[in-house]
Amino acid sequence: MNKRDFFRIIRKKLNRFGDDVADDAVEFYEEIINEKIRETGISEEQAIADLGDPNKLAVEMASDLVAANKLKNPSRGMFWLLGSLALSPVLLPLAITAFTLYIVIFSVWGSLTIAFGGAAIGSIIGGVYSLFVLGNIGTSLICLGGALIAAAILSALCIVTFKYGLEFINLITVKLVRKIKKKTDKGDIIK
């Protein structure tokens, strides 16, 4: 592998943390490669091979960054996590856990939204129907009252989701990433 391919892989994996983060890492490794070639006279190919798998290096650096909570965007962190998990079969159980957790969170939130949204719309239709078609003001008021309650719960749900939901997803991501780090740490270090 030559330098260009090596750094292309590192950049691709790190660019979601910002160009400066990727640049810094690339600079560090490039300097090491250059110094090593100059001092020991080995080929560029060999110097790069000595560094190990760029995918693994990038995952290690990225998991450090995620664990340090440097995540600007929780959903990016989530996709990064799922993507990096696919790299190694050792991480498959974790990938399944992460995937399940995300699915559960989204489906619970989704079904609650649909349930209360549906209840609100249904009650409004019922209220309007009983007022104008059946001419029953009492039933109509009960229905519209119900619609208000459902709408209130729905908006509370949305507020809570935006306020705490993303943080919660971030928390899960960071926890899982720490687990990945422990696993990669074990297989870490030196040739």
Partner 1 sequence: MDTQLKKGLLEICVLAELNRQDSYGYQIIKDLYKIVNISESTLYPILKRLETHSYLTTYTKEFDGRLRKYYRITENGKAKIQEFCREWSSITDIIDFIRGMK
Q: Which positions lie near partner 1, rule CB under 8 A? A: 25, 27-29, 31-32, 34-36, 39, 51-52, 56-57, 60-61, 64, 68, 182, 185-186, 188-191
Comparing CB distances to partner 1, the nearer of 37 and 101 is 37
Residues 6+ apart with CB under 8 A from 91: 84, 85, 180, 183
Comparing CB distances to partner 1, the nearer of 4 and 191 is 191
CB of 28 to partner 1, least distance (A): 6
Comparing CB distances to partner 1, the nearer of 28 and 106 is 28
CA 28-63-14 angle, to 5 degrees, is: 50
